[in-house]
Structure 1
Amino acid sequence: MSKPFKRILITGAAGRLGRVLRAALKDHAEILRLTDITDLGELAAHEEGTICDLADFDKVLPLAKDVDMIVHAGGVPVENTFELILKGNIQGTYNIYEAARQHGVKRVIYTSSNHAIGFYDRTETIDASVAHRPDSLYGLSKCFAEDLGRYYWDKFGIESVNIRIGSSFEEPLDRRMLATWLSFDDFAQIVERSLHAPRVAHMIVYGVSNNRECLWDNRMASSIGYVPKDSADDYREKVLANHPPLNPNEPSARYHGGAFAGAGHFEDKK
């Protein structure tokens, strides 16, 4: 039975969400081309792997050859020094888009983050059209990547779906995640929908499950057919029992970005 795509490139394939993608997309492409800066583990018959620093364009360029779609989940996954964010998330994402352009790849699915809009107050329910309000250097790098994707769409016609992931773990780990949780199955679904939608242009959607509490109006995801199946409410009693309430006036409780908004500048002396 033929598969929809010949080859999909997955960056960050050794990470938590990269491993989810490897399992979820195995029936969607004849070959999954995998890359990460660290060991990829044992490769399946349908996988080909390369260890690569995304900041090295000469290494990134050949990864996009003969690729139908790119799922870009690589880079520095949390707040860090500007130097590391610059190399991994800003230079690395530029290299991915430029490699896509040079090899004629038509679409990039990018794992953006809620930290691109982390300084909105939790009293505000926002959609994907709002202005950026990053809560960290990490969040700032996600803003850059979203705008970079728009540039490559407007100028070169490379489509992008930017998935602003809330909190994707096996289950919600704290009270904030009752509003921001994205299950692994729903993450896989939103990526699959992003790959198969006939046209996406440049889109921003929220990666969030069907939680009763939600900070984001995700109606713009309807055009790709994303309908989340899971809910953090299945874990509500457990979370509330194990995690005391936060002071609502503290930045970590007040803003969409949680602890990222409440933290100081990463490079300040502790």
Structure 2
Amino acid sequence: MTERILITGAAGGVGTLMRPRLAADDRILRLLDIAELPAAGDGERVEIVQTSITDMAAMEQACEGVSAVVHLGGHSLEQVWSQILEVNINGTYTVLEAARRQGIKRVVLASSNHAVGFFQKAEGEAGDYLFPRPDTNYGVSKVAVEALGSLFADRYGMDVICVRIGSCFERPKDTRMLSTWLSPDDGARLFEACLTTPAPGFRVVWGISDNTRRWFSLDEARKLGYESKDDSEVYADEVIAAHGEPDPSSLAQSYLGGVWVGPDFDTAIKEAKEAGR
């Protein structure tokens, strides 16, 4: 039997990496983004939907006939509060409510390390359910994403898994990512586990490869059936040669949110300066 999976934010970085990796003979990927998406390639079983995750009517239509939703849509970097509120928070509510109205029982939500960015690495391995300490407007939106997921799981009996993604790129870009990296292949393995594990209820898991230098727990992800096969250490010599040895006292190495806890990401102050206040 063919299943249909809706992926929001499919034109983004993670969505682009997951598109070929989540493809399967018995699966149709319905790819949704406000940006233009490449058309289906030869033999590719995809449906393209260009719309906003904040449009309830459009999202209800996009959710029709869908088995599960992987919600990656939204701003992936820090933005002014109005944009974060409308796209990341209201957009996530819209996706969940549209899924509920269409009877979809499984939703995977993209959260982030920035939901807990003000925790220091020195406080020990970051647990899966580490209490929120967001570092930015964006971080607050990911706390809200998790809260909305919890609400829809408890009130409506949906299975909702929030994945606190570290850094999902083809390879680590700097020394910090040697600790936070989620390889694209491991990302697909984790999303597959989230989509297929029986009756997970509500979960919060770290989206991380089993890196030698990782700071984050893999306990909950492993309970879902996730098995990491990649380790950033294979890139360590190359990355350190390019960027130098990591400075343990730097923001990047001291905080789960890295430089996002610093003054360059104080969005309210930057907005006030721009407005002349």
Q: Same fold (TM over 0.5)?
A: yes
> In the alignment, does 2:19 pair up with 1:22?
yes
**Contact 1:206 / 1:218 at 8 angstroms: preserved in 2?**
yes
Question: Aligned equivalents of 1:214 and 1:205: distance in 2?
Answer: 14
Alignment map for 1:105-120 (pairs within 5 Å): 105-120=104-119
Aligned length: 267
Equivalent position SS for 2:122 = coil
**Contact 1:8 / 1:29 at 8 angstroms: preserved in 2?**
no
**Contact 1:252 / 1:261 at 8 angstroms: preserved in 2?**
no
1:36 equivalent in structure 2: 33
Shift of 1:206: 0.6
Residue type matched to 1:19 in 2? T
1:265 equivalent in structure 2: 266
**Contact 1:33 / 1:48 at 8 angstroms: preserved in 2?**
yes
1:175 equivalent in structure 2: 175
Backbone CA RMSD of aligned residues: 1.5
Residue type matched to 2:179 in 1? A
2:157 equivalent in structure 1: 157
List alignment gaps of at least 5 residues for structure 2.
none
Runs ≥4 in structure 1, deviation > 6 angstroms?
none
Which deviations, in whole Å up to 9, do the C-alpha atoms of 1:27-54 show, x marking residues without a partner? 0643211110100111245211111111
Alignment map for 1:31-70 (pairs within 5 Å): 31-44=28-41, 45-70=44-69
Question: Aligned equivalents of 2:251 and 2:13: distance in 1?
Answer: 27
Q: Which moved more, 1:82-91 or 1:177-186?
A: 82-91
Shift of 1:245: 4.1
Question: Aligned equivalents of 1:25 and 1:239: distance in 2?
Answer: 28
Question: Aligned equivalents of 2:229 and 2:47: distance in 1?
Answer: 31
TM-score (norm 1): 0.94
Of the three residues 7, 25, 28, the one matched with 2:4 is 7
Question: Aligned equivalents of 2:58 and 2:108: distance in 1?
Answer: 20
**Contact 1:79 / 1:137 at 8 angstroms: preserved in 2?**
yes
2:221 equivalent in structure 1: 221
**Contact 2:209 / 2:231 at 8 angstroms: preserved in 1?**
yes
Question: Aligned equivalents of 2:63 and 2:26: distance in 1?
Answer: 15
Which deviations, in whole Å up to 9, do the C-alpha atoms of 1:77-130 show, x marking residues without a partner? 111111111111101000000001111000101111111111110112121122
Equivalent position SS for 1:119 = coil
1:142 equivalent in structure 2: 142
Question: Aligned equivalents of 1:107 and 1:28: distance in 2?
Answer: 20
Q: What percent identity do the matched residue pairs reach? A: 38
